[in-house]
Amino acid sequence: MAYDEKILTEKGYQKLIEELKHLKEKALPEVAERIAEAKELGDLSENAEYQDAKDEQGLIAKRILEIEEILRNAKVLSTKEVDREKVEVGNKVIIESDGKQFEYEIVGMNEADPAQGKISNESPLGQALLGRKKGEEIELDLPKGKVLYKIVDIK
């Protein structure tokens, strides 16, 4: 894998394409319109609406560049390529610790959303799970101490 290469699932890739389209076709024109309207109000040095719109325009432009860079360097994993015998990016994995089960989808760093059960392949847990098989146990050294996980299933 190239240094700058970003791993994305098909869903993650599509989500970025949609966000990019929204930013370019809707958000950027809207903020440009706000800037034009604010300019009509006169003195720009004391025009909070103008400054807010310019700041937002900068943030949108930055995000567009970020997404374009990610997409340019993306390695998109097809769900057809995902091995179900061992944990890989694109798999859902059920793990057990202290009698509790957790289900996580292993995704690329740009798609991670732990609250939605999506953990990065670059996170400590994601790294520890990669390449492991059903039934294997892993031990992670976390701030709260060592935690033992068992892989219950791979989907």
pLDDT tens-digit profile of 33-52? Answer: 999 988 887 777 777 888 89
Handedness of CA 132, 136, 147, 105 (dihedral sign): positive
Domain range 92-154, its CATH number among 3.40.50.2300, 3.90.550.10, 3.40.50.300, 3.10.50.30 = 3.10.50.30
**What confidence score (pLDDT) does residue 147 get?**
93
CATH 3.20.20.70 fits 6-77, yes or no: no
**What confidence score (pLDDT) does residue 2 get?**
45
**What confidence score (pLDDT) does residue 42 get?**
73
pLDDT, tens only, 13-30: 999 999 999 999 999 999
Tokens found for residue 47: 């025009």
Q: Which stretch of DSSP H or E encloses residue 92?
A: strand 92-97
Position 145 pLDDT exceeds 70: yes
CB of 108 closer than 8 Å to CB of 89? yes
Q: What is the reported pTM?
A: 0.74
pLDDT, tens only, 57-73: 999 999 999 999 999 99
Mean pLDDT in residue range 128-155: 94
Tokens found for residue 30: 């809207």
**Domain segments of the chain: what residues?**
6-77, 92-154
Q: How many other C-beta atoms can be found within 10 angstroms of the C-beta atom of residue 119? A: 23
Share of the chain above pLDDT 90, in %: 66
